Structure 1
Amino acid sequence: MKTLQANAGVLTNLEVLEFLRARGATSDPMGCLGAVAPSECKVFDYLVNTPACNQTRGAIDEFLKRCEKFKLAKAEKFNIINLRPSNQALIDPIIEYCEKRLTKDEARGIDEVQELVDSVLEVLPPPPAKPDEEMQDLEEPPTAKPMEEN
Structure 2
Amino acid sequence: MKILKENAGPLTNFEVLDFFRSRGAAKDPTRVLAPVAPSEFKVYDYLAHSAASGQTRESITEFVAKCKPYKLTKSEIANIINIRPSSSVEIDPLIENLDSRLGESVEELVELVVQVFPPSSEQTSKSDE
Q: TM-score, normalised by structure 2?
A: 0.86
Contact 1:59–1:124 under 8 Å retained in 2? yes
CA distance in 1, matches of 2:27, 2:85: 26
Runs of 4+ in 1 over 6 A off after TM superposition: none
**Is 2:52 the partner of 1:52?**
yes
What do the CA deviations read for 1:53-80 (whole angstroms, capped 9, x no partner)? 1101111111111110000010000000
**Is 2:115 the partner of 1:122?**
yes
**Is 2:29 the partner of 1:5?**
no
What do the CA deviations read for 1:25-70 (whole angstroms, capped 9, x no partner)? 1386622455210010000000011111110111111111111000
Structure 2 unaligned regions, length at least 5: none
Report the Cα offset of residue 126 of structure 1: 1.5
Contact 1:85–1:117 under 8 Å retained in 2? yes
Write out aligned runs for 1:69-148 (5 A).
69-104=69-104, 112-129=105-122, 133=126
CA distance in 2, matches of 1:17, 1:71: 27
* 1:34–1:55 Cα change, 3 Å: closer
Determine helix, strand or coil for the equivalent of 1:102: helix
Determine helix, strand or coil for the equivalent of 1:129: helix
1:107 is matched with which residue? none
Q: CA RMSD in A?
A: 2.3
The number of residue pairs the alignment matches comes to 126
Contact 1:52–1:82 under 8 Å retained in 2? yes
Report the Cα offset of residue 124 of structure 1: 1.2
Determine helix, strand or coil for the equivalent of 1:60: helix
Bigger share in helix: 2
Q: TM-score, normalised by structure 1?
A: 0.75
Larger radius of gyration: 1
Identity %: 50
CA distance in 2, matches of 1:34, 1:58: 27
